[in-house]
Amino acid sequence: MEATGTDEVEKIKSKFISAWHNMKYSWVLKTKTYFSRNSPVFLLGKCYHFKTDESGELSTDGSNFDKINTEISGNVEEFRKDFISRIWLTYREEFPQIKGSALTTDCGWGCTLRTGQMLLAQGLMLHFLGRAWVWPNALDIDSSDSESWTAHTVKKLTASFEASLTAEREPKILSKHHQGTLKRNCDDREMRNEVYHRKIISWFGDSPLAAFGLHQLIECGKKSGKIAGDWYGPAVVAHILRKAVEEARDPELQGVTVYVAQDCTGKCCDYVD
């Protein structure tokens, strides 16, 4: 009876902390990012200059760029496509309760886990898609629409992934309508890349069965003495990612290994026997 009372206290405590984190971290101050048109911008090894025109040529004399011995990858639109194509993972709420806790959100404590997820996601994108790949629909989403998304909307968008994971079958990554559109507008390689992109995203769903979802990462973290709600440092997360990839059952991930260097920097690469 005493243990039951203690559990109830812990549940109430967890709910209170979760509510506090939601209030503390849910405030959003919308700011607009400004870039200098006189300086290049580097994104994951690619160089962009906002003074270039559609052909990729500098629209001015480029005097501030002369000292930089590198190839210009594109202009502002190309940068936007590349930036939007990166996988962004951040705090989320109302996902299935984390085993062994009353938490249904990582707001306020899951920042390093989310950063680790993004690091791994980028490594997998490089592995399966290559650095030159960009999402074909990157500029089709109206920013005003995305800003108005709610938790309910996000849950609907990820429902097909999580339902397929629950059933332990191959995700229905593309709807029939979307498949038809792709067949008309894309070649086989582009369609394959689209499928890979959606599959990579499904691996990071906030579902207990998602290979690199928050639930699975927390399970891996228990071996390091961490539980849901704890603060996870970079070193621990690096080892959690290594363990999660090691235990992943998806055939596509066989032969992919994460190595953790002495300085705790994770590296995703092909396995060499």
Res. 97: pLDDT tops 50? yes
Instruction: Report the C-alpha gap between 98 and 227 in whole angstroms.
Output: 10
- Asked if residue 84 belongs to a domain, the reply is yes
DSSP string, 236-256: HHHHHHHHHHHH---GGGTTE
Q: Is residue 223 part of a domain?
A: yes
Task: Give me the half-sphere count of Cα atoms (radius 13 Å) on the Cβ side of residue 233.
Answer: 6
Within a domain: residue 13?
no
Within-domain flag for 12: no
- Whether 145 is in a domain gets the answer no
Residue 178 placed within a domain: no
How confident is the model at residue 173, as a pLDDT?
A: 44
Q: Identify the pLDDT of residue 144.
A: 46
Q: Rounded mean pLDDT of 155-173?
A: 51
Residue 41 lies inside a defined structural domain of this protein:
no
Q: Which range of residues forms the domain containing residue 122?
A: 71-135+187-272
Among 198, 193, 204, 188, smallest CA distance to 248 is for 204
Average pLDDT for 8-17: 66
Report the predicted TM-score, pTM, of the whole model to 2 decimal places.
Answer: 0.70
Which residues fall within 8 angstroms of residue 216, CB to CB, at 6 or more apart? 208, 209, 210, 244
The count of domains in the chain is 1
Token pair for 38: 């006189």
> pLDDT value at position 87?
92
| Average pLDDT of the residues of the chain | 75
- Whether 181 maps to a domain, the answer reads no
Q: What does the pLDDT read at residue 187?
A: 72
